[in-house]
Amino acid sequence: MKQLLIVWHSRTGAAQAMAQAAALGAGDEAGVAVRLVKAESAGPEDLLAADGYIFAAPENLAALSGEMKAFLDRSYYPVLERLNGRPYAALIAAGSDGTGAARQLARIATGWRLRAIAEPIVVCTHAQSPEAILGQKHLSDAELRACAELGAAMAAGLAMGVF
């Protein structure tokens, strides 16, 4: 059975909702087990056990959130040269454009020689005040549907051997 690993970090709910939507979308695919793991709990062994990845995180100060970056940092060298060619996708929750976090994740994935299967999905919350930035986020059905569709596509590709 193929395994899809979804690693997520969220402080205000947006990236968590995105990850859960992707897991829900992927969950219907026969032959694919979906694991949804918080970045703080994930490590190299989780990456090695999976056949494909979705990373979901907020953008903080034009970069990946610290917890997602810490997961990537502690996992980077133990799995280097051992993930080559595996597929991945990115889900970014951002107050503005999300390009900094998406670019940072893409550079790390390039180092691992992962293969992007889709453009990053960036959900812009437009949170710009301290209150809005720190407040709980609620995403639209359309935003969550896009995440679910990405999860379904990743699982289908894994099941069919396309990735």
Report the alpha-carbon distance of residue 139 to residue 90 in Å, rounded: 17
Q: Which pLDDT score is estimated for 29?
A: 86
Express each pLDDT in 45-97 by its tens digit: 999 999 999 999 999 999 999 999 999 999 999 999 999 999 999 999 999 89
Report the alpha-carbon distance of residue 35 to residue 43 in Å, rounded: 13
Q: Which CATH class is domain 2-160?
A: alpha beta
Backbone dihedral angles phi then psi of residue 35, each to the nearest 5 degrees: -115, 125
Q: What residues does each domain of the chain span? A: 2-160
Backbone dihedral angles phi then psi of residue 93, each to the nearest 5 degrees: -100, 125
67 close to 9: Cβ distance less than 8 angstroms:
yes
Q: Which pLDDT score is estimated for 35?
A: 98
DSSP string, 40-101: TT--HHHHHH-SEEEEEEEEETTEE-HHHHHHHHHHHHHHTTSSTT-EEEEEEEESS--HHH
69 close to 38: Cβ distance less than 8 angstroms:
no
Residue 149 corresponds to which tokens in the numbers above? 């569709």
Q: Looking at this protein, which amino acid is placed at residue 92?
A: I
Q: pTM higher than 0.75 for the full model?
A: yes
The average confidence (pLDDT) of the chain is 96
Percentage of the residues of the chain whose pLDDT score is greater than 70? 100
